[in-house]
Amino acid sequence: MTELQVELLTPSLKFLNDYQHHLTKGWSPDNIWTERTAKAQLEAIAQSPEVFIQSLNDVNGLNPAIKLSDGSRVRPLPSISRWIWQSGFCGAIQLRWSPDSDALPYFCPGHVGYSIVPERRREGLASSALRHLLPIAQAIGLRQLTIHVSVTNVASQKVIQSAGGELLSVANFDTEFNSQGCAIYCIHL
């Protein structure tokens, strides 16, 4: 099978209007807190586009603390976002990591998150983007990626499997991020 030609672009002001356009249409890079994230990102863009762009490439984990559903606050992990581009803006993929460890803290739902804009779903874009992200994760020093996905999200499970993901376990309990149960995958780099 021929690999779909997608680019993972470092977020920039040059393509911010494309990103913002999809946020205003209801898309979000966050599949868990979709509306909350889209609203917060639109507000951040309006306040300072430059600062917003910088926040998407936080390799030192210096972004503001994250508020969890119980009201507690935690320091963010180092993270990068890349915009998925194939004949236009298609979505976003994020990589999060703990410095000096492949393990993640309890509040992080995996090393990777991705979201494709609705009109471009089912084209293989997420699968291709995830495969393109693997060398970046390896260059950061990660040896494996853990990815959590809803047990009901069969399409996303296929994305992870296409990148070499192996099912580690299924958690059939409510979590901070998922009330339907969670399939936990591992990709060895």
- 80-90 average pLDDT score: 97
In tens, the pLDDT along 105-139 reads 888 889 999 999 999 999 999 999 999 999 999 99
Q: Tell me the three state secondary structure of residue 101.
A: strand
Phi, psi of 104 (to 5 degrees): -120, 150
Instruction: Give the domains, in start order, of the chain with CATH numbers.
Output: 7-188 (3.40.630.30)
142-164 exposure pattern, b = at least 16 Cβ within 10 A, e = fewer: beebbbbbbeebeebbebbeebe
- Residue 189 · residue 165 · CB < 8 Å: no
% residues pLDDT > 70 (the chain): 94
- Binned at pLDDT 50, 70 and 90, residue 183 comes out as very high
In tens, the pLDDT along 124-180 reads 999 999 999 999 999 999 999 999 998 989 999 999 999 999 999 998 655 555 556
In this structure, the number of other CB atoms found within 10 A of the CB of residue 59 comes to 11
In tens, the pLDDT along 37-61 reads 999 999 999 999 999 999 999 999 9
| Cα 8 from Cα 129, distance rounded (Å) | 7
pLDDT value at residue 69: 77
Q: Model's pTM, two decimal places?
A: 0.91
Residue 110, sorted as left (phi over 0), alpha (psi -120 to 50) or beta, turns out to be left
% residues pLDDT > 90 (the chain): 73
CA separation, residue 76 to residues 17, 83, 113, 116 (Å): 26, 20, 15, 23
In tens, the pLDDT along 62-76 reads 998 888 878 899 999
Check whether 35 has a pLDDT greater than 60.
yes
